[in-house]
Amino acid sequence: MFRRAAALHRLFSIIRKPQVKLFTPGPLNTTPTVREAMMYDFGSRDPDFGKIVEDIKVRLLKIADVKPKDYAAVLVQGNGTYAVESCLGTAFPRLDPGDRSQRMLIIANGSYGERQVKICEVLGIPHIVLRYADSEIVNPDDVKRQLNEHHQITHVSVIHSETTTGIINPCLEIGKVVHEHNPNLIYIVDGMSSFGAVHLDLYEGHVNYLISSSNKMIQGVPGFAFVIAKLSDLMQCQGNSRSVGLDLYEQWDYQLSNPGQFRFTPPTHVMAAFHQALVEHEAEGGVKARGERYRNNQRILSEEMRKLGFKLYVDPKNQGVCITTFMQPSHPKFNFKVLYDYLAERNIVIYPGKLSKAPSFRLGNIGELYADDMYECINKLKEGFKFMGVPLPLEED
* Residues in binding site for substrate: 362
Q: What is the DSSP string of 226-238?
A: EEEEEHHHHTT-T
Q: C-alpha distances in angstroms, 384 versus 74, 327, 335? A: 44, 16, 10
Query: Which positions make up the binding site?
Result: 362
For β-strands 153-159 and 103-108, DSSP reports them as parallel
Q: Give the E-state strand segments of the chain in sequence order.
A: 21-22, 71-77, 103-108, 127-131, 153-159, 161-162, 167-168, 186-190, 209-213, 224-230, 323-327, 348-349, 351-352, 360-364
Asked if residue 52 lies in contact with residue 40, where contact means CB atoms within 8 angstroms, the answer is no
Cβ contacts of 3-11, under 8 Å, gap ≥ 24? none
Residue 262: name the closest of 42, 41, 65, 68 by CA: 42
Asked if residue 65 lies in contact with residue 202, where contact means CB atoms within 8 angstroms, the answer is yes
CA angle 80, 146, 174 (to 5 degrees): 55
